[in-house]
Structure 1
Amino acid sequence: MSLSINLPLILSAAFVASASPGPATLAIADTAMQAGRRTGLALALGVVTGSLAWSIAAALGLAAIMASSAWMLEAMRYCGGGYLLYLAYRSARSAIRGSVARTPAVADVSAPRAYAKGLALHLTNPKAILFFGSLYTLGLSPRTSAAELILVIAAVGLQSAAIFTSYALLFSHGRIARAYLRLRRWFEGAFALLFAGAGLRVLTTRLPV
């Protein structure tokens, strides 16, 4: 069976965005370092839940747009490409400045509260819906079926869960956390290049019709 989606491209872009430093990853790292593995995992699962909610909303919205107007999808493609270039700029600026954002202390946060915090963190982030909109324009087309959308949502969700829970597991070890902070500027520079490449690809690749 031939698919009308480019799943490897979508997952690659989602991996770059999920693994790159941001409010969610910094909150997970900070929670895991200060409150331990269990609380860090709870916050990570909250972030995953919020991410899945935005993913479903974006996928359903794009499905409706594709069913009604191909030019609207094309407009979203340009907006998505521009947003990915904006992320590249933010990562490059952070790499140059070398600043490290910190979240408030969370040493006494319970697991249920940490989950709620992670969920709220992602649901109240307006950039999340922009990201998922740009993500799906990477590899979807007007011929994308409902079954293929479900496949994309599930694959992106599983990958996000693996990434965010891995952050919680890794940063519950102090030695790994300290090593990451020393190399953070190099990671930011690499993510800037990857975001820029993805954005340019969105802007220069015509979607299949």
Structure 2
Amino acid sequence: MYWTEFLTVALIHLLAVASPGPDFAVVVRESVAHGSRAGRWTAVGVGCGIFVHVTYSLLGIGLIVSQSLWLFNALKWLAAAYLLYIGIKALRARPAAPAELADGPAPARSLRGAFTSGFVTNGLNPKATLFFLSLFTVVIDPHTPLLVQAGYGVYLAVATGAWFCLVAALFSQHRVRAGFARLGHWFDRLMGAVLVGLGIKLAFTSLR
């Protein structure tokens, strides 16, 4: 009965998640710098961040945020500050020492840190707030049972996590990481510039 609506939601989500943004940049950076495990846990963090947006959309809080310039700006500046923070850290990356260029395991990265990086990046993204608000108010019929809407939310979280796990698998491949190894600091700086750019763009995002 709800298959048409679900397929519409799935298609819109696919188009949205495939477009590069803060989530993509963070997953790629973690995967290249720290390997597949860190990349996967970052992807899982991004997927779990989706539950934040789904929860407040189902509760109607997203509508309140969208109508409150103060709340929207608070969320926007918090997210922008976080992106600027991790971006500036990446911009300060230094060339690896000769010994570090030899083939070997990726630098240690706590799984909690990787997960938190993905979760915070996605959960604080006000653009995601507007996306889910429009999804749950325009695309999804208000008369659709809450349980069905929650099911859509679970799908969105799982699909997002799965997509970024694929991204992590690609960018943590030995050949890919080896290619970045000798120019790793430039890659970090590039990703840092991307994150800083996204943070600045986010800071100037307007509600209306």
TM-score grouping bracket, smaller chain normalisation: 0.5 to 0.7
State the alpha-carbon separation in 1 of the partners of residues 89 and 46 from structure 2: 15
Any idea what the Cα deviations from partners look like across 1:11-65, whole Å, max 9, x if unmatched?
Answer: 1111111121001111101110111001111111111111121122113318x97
Matches of residues 9-28 of structure 1 in structure 2 within 5 Å? 9-28=8-27
State the alpha-carbon separation in 1 of the partners of residues 164 and 3 from structure 2: 28
Q: Partner of 1:150 in structure 2?
A: 150
Q: Partner of 2:70 in structure 1?
A: none
State the alpha-carbon separation in 1 of the partners of residues 89 and 54 from structure 2: 25
After superposing the two structures, state which structure 1 stretch, 16-25 or 128-137, moved more.
Answer: 128-137
CA contact (8 A) 1:28 1:168 kept: yes
Residue 51, structure 1, aligned to residue 50, structure 2? yes
State the alpha-carbon separation in 2 of the partners of residues 5 and 146 from structure 1: 17
User: How far 1:176 sits from its partner (Å)?
Assistant: 6.0
State the alpha-carbon separation in 2 of the partners of residues 25 and 10 from structure 1: 20
State the alpha-carbon separation in 2 of the partners of residues 112 and 12 from structure 1: 31
User: How far 1:142 sits from its partner (Å)?
Assistant: 2.8
Equivalent residue letter for 1:53:
V
Q: Calculate the TM-score normalised by the size of structure 1.
A: 0.59
Q: What's the secondary structure of 1:141's corresponding residue?
A: coil
State the alpha-carbon separation in 1 of the partners of residues 136 and 176 from structure 2: 33
Which blocks of at least 5 consecutive residues in structure 1 are unaligned?
66-71, 77-100, 182-209
Matches of residues 118-197 of structure 1 in structure 2 within 5 Å? 118-173=118-173, 175=175
Q: Calculate the TM-score normalised by the size of structure 2.
A: 0.59
User: How far 1:175 sits from its partner (Å)?
Assistant: 4.9
Which blocks of at least 5 consecutive residues in structure 2 are unaligned?
68-86, 94-105, 180-186, 188-208
State the alpha-carbon separation in 1 of the partners of residues 141 and 158 from structure 2: 22
Q: What's the secondary structure of 1:6's corresponding residue?
A: helix
Q: Partner of 2:30 in structure 1?
A: 31
CA contact (8 A) 1:4 1:143 kept: no
Q: Partner of 2:76 in structure 1?
A: none
State the alpha-carbon separation in 2 of the partners of residues 176 and 6 from structure 1: 39
CA contact (8 A) 2:46 2:160 kept: no
State the alpha-carbon separation in 1 of the partners of residues 118 and 164 from structure 2: 11
